[in-house]
Structure 1
Amino acid sequence: MAFFDALREKAVTTLNQVLDKNRNSGLTKHQQFCYSHHIPETETILSESAAEIGIKSDYSTDAYNDNLPFPQGRIYLTQSFLIFRDAFDRKNCSFSVHLSTIKKVERPPGSDYGFALMVSTYSKLHLTLYLVGIRSDSERFAQQLKIALKKNLVHVGKLQPFIQTCYSEYLLAKNKVSTEKVEHAPQGGLGLVFKFPGDPKESRDKTKMKLWFDLFRVDGRNLSLVRTPLFYKLVRVGLPNRLRGEIWELCCGSMYLRLDYQGEYNKILEDHKDQKSFAIEEIEKDLNRSLPEYAAYQSSQGIERLRRVLTAYSWKNPDVGYCQAMNIVVAAMLIYMSEEQAFWCLNVLCDRIVPGYYSKTMYGTLLDQKVFESLVQKTMPMLWEHITKNDIQLSVVSLPWFLSLYLSSMPLVFAFRILDVFFLQGPKTLFQVALAVLKLNGEALLNTEDDGTFISIIKQYFLTLHESAHPNSPNPKFRSITRFQELLVTAFREFSVIDEEMINNTRAKHRDTIYQNISSFVKRTELRNLPRTTNISQETLSLLYDRFYSVVESLSVTKGSGTSVMDYKVFVEFMSEICDWITDVNVDDERHFLRRLFNHWDTEKQGALTFTDLLVGLNSLVDPDLMTSMSNFFELYDTKGDGKIDREGILQISEDLLYITSPWKDGVLFDGITKANIENVIADEVYKKQVESGNTSPDQSEIQLPSDFQVDRDKLEQQQVERYLQAAATFIQRAFEYAQPEEEELLIKELAIDNSISHNAALNPNTPVYLNLPTFRMVVLADETYELLFGSTLREATHLERPLDTKFDPIRNLRDMFDGLLADGRKVATKVRLRMDSRAANGGGGAPPNSSNASIKSGAKREEEEEDQDDDDLGVISIDDNDKDLLLATEAQVVVKESTEKPRISRMESEKIIGKSDQNLIEFET
């Protein structure tokens, strides 16, 4: 059941929060800014200004070419970053420079510009900020920058150890470009040991590395990289193997988390060493099924790295823990990344890039399947019509693409090219590639009539991505284009209209439907796998399920975390909504009956109840069998499990029985005995009227009930109060009277001959005694009130079937109870007939048995008194002519009534280096 308990780890609040993040609604300006620039969410905008940017490096001969205009846009300052974004096109120029990389800020000499600042970084990159606007605002920006730099001095010490882990620094230091001392290559991915997927010569890996080397010299690197058009082009033509991991974490922003939280990954592993969890059990099952085609995952080294990353994440984010397909994605990352890099990249992937993909319900993936179907319908209506006509389930085909990020669908060498763009531009990449796959196979797919053929065509296509897209073309240039290159061109050119805004709008349109479907599925699955509950119907199970998660989500301290258990505070609230016998509860009282009940139902002793725990407990609470009910109550106090309750336990039972019976002891509720007395009073009154009218024949087919009479509620209430107080006193007396003395050999023998000891050794505090189950039952059964309590009273005051929006109101409950009593005309009529039969047997005359004083008032007089009577005055219960129909209603009708109220390289140089086969890719923009 642990699986199904974790299944519901995201409820409505969490789902809405995640989806709102996706569509940038409901977020503050600072949060949207952080998401847009891939920086930590803790950053806020301290100052901003319009600016033009000059860029120069000590290793370049031309700074952005003097004949080119400076990029224009806005410059932002946060607590840890200096960020620039081009006003017209972010791909033209943008950067997020970490303040710890800034070595010097000065006013440029000989500048004729109004206000300018030159920022120099450790990578020998010089950024000249020409601030546009009122001088006072520019001075304020400069002052804020000065303050922020001073505050970041404490973090500068993190920079040197961090850059030792970046291959870009090692690359420049090895080629004597950088002055930073990086003596050893940083720890990298498994590809360094087991080789990287694909042929490095065929992918021109060394050539790509030279391009990136030149870019790093001119435009900075890692924490101080300036993104120019060449940066985006080099990502799209495929990243070099040794740099792939670093560029991935730079693009998605996990690099900044790794900088801020150095050492946390190892600390998490150390803190939870040798600990076990449900997530770890699930991880162990999937380790050997993670990219088995790659050699590293047929060795202990690869498996161990994967295990550590997945385990660390499960402890870092216990609400998600471990989910399906997460092992495949992390296994792919570890080929190019160190463990720490993969760990932080996984955090960003799950929390920001594709939230909801890796969860028990996979609600994010399911939602995007609905979005994908809508995009297919909009962009390829003919294909969509064919799919719907033949009842082809498109989501069955496309779900693995999105969930595993194509890693399990196409050869790894191509899937990693998809990931290059995915980390750069986000989840829209998944949709663009998926649409391109369908478009390029559209003609063949139109000839399919079932899911199997549809899947077979797509699978065969993925296996032939390395082949020529136009093998019969007379043009050698066309013949050199592979199917994979064609796929990328189609995805990022023809489907460039698929942007974030379109995706988020479509998500908003379908999210409610997806949530409802998931909720219904989860509910049906969990209910179907619950243990058998003979005392709770299926309809009531559904109500309890809804109430459980409603209360957990609204009251739990961990609201929004997707918790599927309730703590004691939530438990008290839950029980208060369904039990009439629960009054004020001090949640800090460890001796309270509800605390004992909570601890007993908590079978795993985790300080929280699952839905299964609660259900099993409730099933025992409402057991209709008297003996079983008493046994269940006895078990609450048999803490040692030896069938004995000691003196302290007996006293605690008596206290708890006083608490449980408070509503009846205080006259708020009436039990079965009092209800029977009320019925007798009514029957006596009816019988009296029958005698007066002379209709005393036992053959009478109809009993005429009086139109108006009163019941002395105060008297009946007082009788019930006295009866419950007497029951409490009798219980404690008899419990100790019949308690068994502990047989402690000589001590007991000596006590047995001591005449100074009371005749009842159980009453002596120096004498250990215990109460066993048979004796407990005997004591209860000896009292009519407590026998009824365990037999029906407690069960009838526990309303498992109570609607979710209905809460207990003592006043209203009392009125409903009287309505039910007085409306059950059948019972009253039966008692009246019994009296008539008795009269006939006795020859007529005489007072009816069990007669009580009852007065009859006219309807007019009663109406006059009601005008002066407050609504809360329940001293007299009366019935008028308007209640005649209710008086004759059946018991079933009464129940129904009650329930209804309720990157700088020239283009020519790039073409010469990269080659003609990738020309299409480097030309177009995503």
Structure 2
Amino acid sequence: MAFFEAIRDRAVSTLNQVLDKKNPSGLTKDQLFCRQYSLPDYETVLNESAAEVEVVSDFTTDAYKGVSSSMGREQFPQGRIFLTQHFIVFRDAYDKKNCSFTIHLSTVKKVERLPAKDYGFALSIHTHSKLQVTLYLVGLRSESERFAQTLKITLKKNLPNVKKLSPFIHTCYSEYLLAKNNISSEKIESVPPSGLGQVFKFPGNPKESRDKSKMKLWFDLFRVDGRNLSLVKTPMFYRLVRVGLPNRLRGEIWELCCGSMFLRLDHQEEYKKILEDYGKRKSLATEEIEKDLNRSLPEYAAYQSPEGIERLRRVLTAYSWKNPEVGYCQAMNIVVAALLIYMSEEQAFWTLNVLCDRIVPGYYSKTMYGTLLDQRVFESLVQNTMPKLWDHITKNDIQLSVVSLPWFLSLYLSSMPLVFASRIIDVFFLQGPQTLFQVALAILKVNGEDLLKTEDDGSFISIIKDYFQVLDQSAHPNSPNPKYKSITKFQELLVTAFKEFSIVNEEMIDVHRNRHRDTIFQNISTFVKRTELRNLPKAKNISPETLSILYDRFYSIVQSYSVTMASGSSLMDFKAFKSFMSDICEWVKPETSTDPADDVFLHHLFSNWDSEGQAALSLSDLVVGLNKLIEPDLMTSMSNFFELYDFKHKGKIDREGILQISEDLLYVTGPWKDGLLYDDITVNAMENAVADEVYKANTSNGDDGAKKDEIALPSEVQIDKQKLESQQIERYLKGASTFIQRAFEYAQPEEEEILIKDLAIDNSISHNAALNPNTPVFLNLPTFRMVILADETYELLFSRTLRKSINLEKSLDSKVNTIRNLRDMFDGLLADGRKVANKVRRRMDSAASSALQVNNNNSNSDATSMKSGRSKTQEEEEEQDDDFGVISIDEKDKDLLLGAEAQVLIDPVSNEPAKNKELQRFHKAEQEAAAASASFKSGTKIDDANLIEFET
């Protein structure tokens, strides 16, 4: 039942995914669809149909004119067409690389129905990028009609989004490129916002990377297959990504492949608004960001300048406020720094969102559980694909994860030169995280012979580092064939990764992830729990074992109250705090209680323990507070309680605070005041009563108890249950009444001005003038302690009773009611009869000792002596056994107290009944105490139900 304690990312849903064996993804059908086609999560499928697709443009030659079949008609890509709230989606059923597209409906200019020819139903869609996409719907005519009708309705609903299109595509370099060459009808005069590379130059040599040639190829592709929001992905698209993207287009193609472009379109002003709302605010995440800003790709010139650092700061800060559960994590700065070389700030911001939430979930989190899981998957893949190298690694105890963890966490950006790492990111955004595994396996494969000669981690890492520094060198420098000689080591690496390890696909990776998830999460849970417990403040009153239980209970309750932990919060609000306390404290009423008065004392605890003033408790706050609450030292315990009401931290509690303390003491002692629990005074009285009954039974049977080694307890004992309950209840009611009287009696005036006239005796002034609102008073800590120590019940409350009523060790799975009645306690006495037997033994020994001191010849005198000796010794024994005796009070004293109570209700100035709030509250408390006390003294009747039979 314990929650996986430290995983407090945004992806609580991801945790549910990994624990669900039947549906590891944990996503709905629509969510899976959105992930598959890189759509925003809020899209749903409105309609779908089987279809064949023809795509043509003004510049199409023979790309999609179709291929003649043996039947004499053209063949077009076949698959299913999907319609969502904002998109038309298609993918070839046989090979997605053959033809696929995700067209935003705001780019649709016209839809018309074509006359039927070979197909029964056809729709022609014209887009902003001058594409004509013809859908030949396959299936029942009624279904095709329904699809067309749904498309019509959806297009009408999207009309308001059309106005967002023009300003958005002005931020796309592809549109600028075509407009500049008079292909696009848009008028774009300035270069769209782009990355730092436009100012500080892009990594690598543009001539060696043939940027101009690549740009010409992409220009031709955009003319034929559309661009940005209405691009059709063809085999040429995939080939151009593989050979490397041109620097100026790299950012746009990255966001198009991962789907962040669609988020940027739908939330065009959100990035700026976040910066405006949170730009000057500070948090733990922003502090961590500041530490890492100058460590982000320091080899790139932009990050040695204020402009580059400022852009990086803004993006990381905005994301930390956008996703506070993740905030900022290790290596995130390196990834964002690389994105900003090729992207604008807004592009990088939304790409980071998709990267963290969807592509590599758990990589950038407090526990990095996604990275750790993939490290175990990578080790499994090495073991399966390169068994000889794996045997060598295990034989020499080489920690492979030490080598490969930075590759995955920084997406190779911190491991190899940027010019090569960017090429890997090109493919990564196109085909997903499988790219990371394929490249990692290829690195080991290419360097396999050298790695087999290593015997330790250091030499293993050294070989890989040296390899990354020579990726631009020839892979076959001694080859006589110039073609092979021109192949670089980086090109060899890519060929090895994407051809030899093409079998390592998403399905294979998921199989390995499902196999290792449980182990990884258990290890993370244990590690995080151990780490967090180690970093908690010292709590001398709580054992390490109890801390472990508290940890599990804290996060278990936080989880259940944060589903609302869809947020993954690691803080406890008041509602969760009340549930927590009701589980472990016998005096906290169940969570279902709706009486606001029941929560007053808990609010005092909650506010006092909230160290950060954020209306929420951390685990650290809770441990510190509980450590104070169960303080065994009497003086310290009273000081801790006094502190709850010393709001100004001046060592004083005013009139209102005194009244609040009295009410809270009534609340805390409720289970004992109502006879549901018992304290040590009642326990001792009960043990003595049982011992007396057992002793009488033994002596009446003529047993010589003094000669027996063991005392045999009878099968049943009858004692007066009602009497014991009444005595305890009356003690607690009396304690409440006495506390409030003495607190005001000994309270000190707020300002003492000694005047001569004050020395005069005025009989009209009540000795309870402290309650006069015109004369403010306060209670300090020494006086509070004196008042508590003057009452045996309250002294016991702070020394033992309160501490024993808090069950910190209670198991999380325990469903047993913590409040035990007196019957349970009686049963326990005889179930473990050692204390009772010892008391009976002492009575017998005392009786025997007394008998030896009288005349042995006079049996009557012996019996009398034994009886009187037993009686006297029994009184001494009771005195000795009871740590807290019942304070007796005679009727005169009682009348004086009752008279004082009556005087309290009179305003000393006007000599009329008091009407102020404090006196009314005092009056109410006194009436309740007096009424309850009277009912217990006069209304008690003993019947058969009050006699308890004890069965061993």
* TM-score, reference length from structure 1: 0.89
Aligned length: 858
Residues 539 and 191 (structure 1), Cα distance of their counterparts in 2 relative to 1, 3 Å cut: same
Quick one: distance in 1 between partners of 2:756 and 2:360? Answer: 72
Quick one: distance in 2 between partners of 1:814 and 1:833? Answer: 25
Residues 842 and 363 (structure 1), Cα distance of their counterparts in 2 relative to 1, 3 Å cut: same
Deviation at 1:133, TM superposition (A): 1.3
Q: CA-to-partner distance for each residue in 1:595-651, whole Å, 9 max, x for gaps? A: 111110001110100001000010011111111111100000111111111111111
Residues 553 and 813 (structure 1), Cα distance of their counterparts in 2 relative to 1, 3 Å cut: farther
Match of 2:856 in 1: none
Q: CA-to-partner distance for each residue in 1:834-884, whole Å, 9 max, x for gaps? A: 3234434544223643599xxxxxxxxxxxxxxxxxxxx98544333xx3x
Deviation at 1:589, TM superposition (A): 5.5
Residues 773 and 509 (structure 1), Cα distance of their counterparts in 2 relative to 1, 3 Å cut: same
Q: Does 1:621 align with 2:692?
A: no
Match of 2:351 in 1: 345
Quick one: distance in 2 between partners of 1:166 and 1:754? Answer: 92
Q: Which runs of 5+ in 1 are unaligned?
A: 853-872, 884-926
Quick one: distance in 2 between partners of 1:86 and 1:381? Answer: 37
Deviation at 1:22, TM superposition (A): 13
Deviation at 1:79, TM superposition (A): 0.6
* 1:830 aligned to which of 838, 842, 852: 838
Q: Does 1:632 align with 2:604?
A: no
Deviation at 1:374, TM superposition (A): 0.8
Q: CA-to-partner distance for each residue in 1:183-232, whole Å, 9 max, x for gaps? A: 11101000000000000000000000000000000000000000000000
Residues 574 and 202 (structure 1), Cα distance of their counterparts in 2 relative to 1, 3 Å cut: same
Residues 425 and 144 (structure 1), Cα distance of their counterparts in 2 relative to 1, 3 Å cut: same
Match of 1:226 in 2: 232
Aligned residue for 1:805, secondary structure, equals coil
Does the CA-based 8 Å contact 1:556-1:570 persist in structure 2?
no
Residues 610 and 132 (structure 1), Cα distance of their counterparts in 2 relative to 1, 3 Å cut: same
Q: How does 1:583-594 map to 2 (within 5 A)?
A: 583-584=589-590, 585-586=593-594, 592-594=600-602
Deviation at 1:312, TM superposition (A): 0.2
Q: How does 1:748-759 map to 2 (within 5 A)?
A: 756-759=764-767
* 1:292 aligned to which of 293, 298, 315: 298
Residues 71 and 680 (structure 1), Cα distance of their counterparts in 2 relative to 1, 3 Å cut: same
Does the CA-based 8 Å contact 1:21-1:27 persist in structure 2?
no
Does the CA-based 8 Å contact 2:474-2:488 persist in structure 1?
yes
Match of 2:17 in 1: 17
Q: Does 1:567 align with 2:589?
A: no
Does the CA-based 8 Å contact 1:113-1:130 persist in structure 2?
yes
Q: Does 1:426 align with 2:432?
A: yes
Q: How does 1:221-620 map to 2 (within 5 A)?
A: 221-584=227-590, 585-586=593-594, 592-620=600-628
Does the CA-based 8 Å contact 2:5-2:529 persist in structure 1?
no
Deviation at 1:443, TM superposition (A): 1.2
Q: What is the identity, as a one-letter code, of the residue corresponding to 1:178?
A: S
Deviation at 1:453, TM superposition (A): 1.1
Segment drifting more, 836-845 vs 680-689: 836-845
* 2:728 aligned to which of 720, 723, 734: 720
* 1:211 aligned to which of 195, 201, 217: 217
Quick one: distance in 2 between partners of 1:366 and 1:795? Answer: 43
Aligned residue for 1:97, secondary structure, equals strand
Q: CA-to-partner distance for each residue in 1:316-346, whole Å, 9 max, x for gaps? A: 0000000000000000000000000000000
Deviation at 1:673, TM superposition (A): 0.5
Aligned residue for 1:542, secondary structure, equals helix
Does the CA-based 8 Å contact 1:23-1:504 persist in structure 2?
no
Q: How does 1:781-800 map to 2 (within 5 A)?
A: 781-800=789-808
Match of 1:804 in 2: 812
Aligned residue for 2:114, secondary structure, equals coil
Match of 1:31 in 2: 31
Match of 1:43 in 2: 43
Deviation at 1:65, TM superposition (A): 3.9
Does the CA-based 8 Å contact 1:682-1:828 persist in structure 2?
yes
Segment drifting more, 536-545 vs 686-695: 686-695
Match of 1:85 in 2: 91
Does the CA-based 8 Å contact 2:54-2:65 persist in structure 1?
no
Quick one: distance in 2 between partners of 1:23 and 1:396? Answer: 32
Does the CA-based 8 Å contact 1:741-1:761 persist in structure 2?
no
Residues 875 and 374 (structure 1), Cα distance of their counterparts in 2 relative to 1, 3 Å cut: farther
Deviation at 1:758, TM superposition (A): 1.7
Match of 2:144 in 1: 138
Segment drifting more, 463-472 vs 112-121: 112-121
Does the CA-based 8 Å contact 1:9-1:564 persist in structure 2?
no
Deviation at 1:557, TM superposition (A): 4.8
Segment drifting more, 304-313 vs 664-673: 664-673
Q: What is the identity, as a one-letter code, of the residue corresponding to 1:26?
A: G
Deviation at 1:261, TM superposition (A): 0.3
Deviation at 1:745, TM superposition (A): 4.0
Deviation at 1:723, TM superposition (A): 1.1
Residues 749 and 638 (structure 1), Cα distance of their counterparts in 2 relative to 1, 3 Å cut: farther
Residues 746 and 213 (structure 1), Cα distance of their counterparts in 2 relative to 1, 3 Å cut: farther
Quick one: distance in 1 between partners of 2:822 and 2:402? Answer: 56
Q: How does 1:887-926 map to 2 (within 5 A)?
A: none
Of structures 1 and 2, the one with the larger relative CO (CA 8 A, separation 6+) is: 1
Residues 759 and 26 (structure 1), Cα distance of their counterparts in 2 relative to 1, 3 Å cut: closer
Deviation at 1:399, TM superposition (A): 0.5
Deviation at 1:299, TM superposition (A): 0.4
Deviation at 1:579, TM superposition (A): 0.9
Segment drifting more, 828-837 vs 607-616: 828-837
Does the CA-based 8 Å contact 1:14-1:562 persist in structure 2?
no
Segment drifting more, 548-557 vs 153-162: 548-557
Quick one: distance in 2 between partners of 1:327 and 1:496? Answer: 30
Segment drifting more, 61-70 vs 136-145: 61-70
Match of 2:57 in 1: 57
Aligned residue for 1:639, secondary structure, equals coil
Q: CA-to-partner distance for each residue in 1:509-532, whole Å, 9 max, x for gaps? A: 111111100010011111111111
Does the CA-based 8 Å contact 1:568-1:587 persist in structure 2?
no
Q: Does 1:839 align with 2:847?
A: yes
Residues 91 and 23 (structure 1), Cα distance of their counterparts in 2 relative to 1, 3 Å cut: farther
Match of 1:664 in 2: 672
Q: What is the identity, as a one-letter code, of the residue corresponding to 2:405?
A: L
Deviation at 1:442, TM superposition (A): 1.0
Match of 1:858 in 2: none
* 1:159 aligned to which of 140, 162, 165: 165
Does the CA-based 8 Å contact 2:116-2:122 persist in structure 1?
no
Residues 749 and 75 (structure 1), Cα distance of their counterparts in 2 relative to 1, 3 Å cut: farther
Q: CA-to-partner distance for each residue in 1:867-916, whole Å, 9 max, x for gaps? A: xxxxxx98544333xx3xxxxxxxxxxxxxxxxxxxxxxxxxxxxxxxxx
Q: CA-to-partner distance for each residue in 1:342-362, whole Å, 9 max, x for gaps? A: 000000000000000000100
Does the CA-based 8 Å contact 2:129-2:227 persist in structure 1?
yes
Residues 428 and 117 (structure 1), Cα distance of their counterparts in 2 relative to 1, 3 Å cut: same
Match of 1:763 in 2: 771
Aligned residue for 1:83, secondary structure, equals strand
Quick one: distance in 2 between partners of 1:674 and 1:316? Answer: 58
Query: What percentage of residue pairs aligned between the two structures are identical?
Result: 73
Deviation at 1:769, TM superposition (A): 1.0
Deviation at 1:814, TM superposition (A): 5.2
Q: Does 1:653 align with 2:675?
A: no
Quick one: distance in 2 between partners of 1:810 and 1:364? Answer: 41
Segment drifting more, 560-569 vs 253-262: 560-569
Residues 228 and 193 (structure 1), Cα distance of their counterparts in 2 relative to 1, 3 Å cut: same
Residues 23 and 798 (structure 1), Cα distance of their counterparts in 2 relative to 1, 3 Å cut: closer
Q: What is the identity, as a one-letter code, of the residue corresponding to 1:636?
A: L
Q: What is the identity, as a one-letter code, of the residue corresponding to 2:426?
A: D
* TM-score, reference length from structure 2: 0.87
Deviation at 1:763, TM superposition (A): 2.4
Q: CA-to-partner distance for each residue in 1:352-393, whole Å, 9 max, x for gaps? A: 000000001000000000111111111111111111111111
Aligned residue for 1:767, secondary structure, equals coil
Deviation at 1:505, TM superposition (A): 1.4
Aligned residue for 2:539, secondary structure, equals coil
Deviation at 1:12, TM superposition (A): 6.8
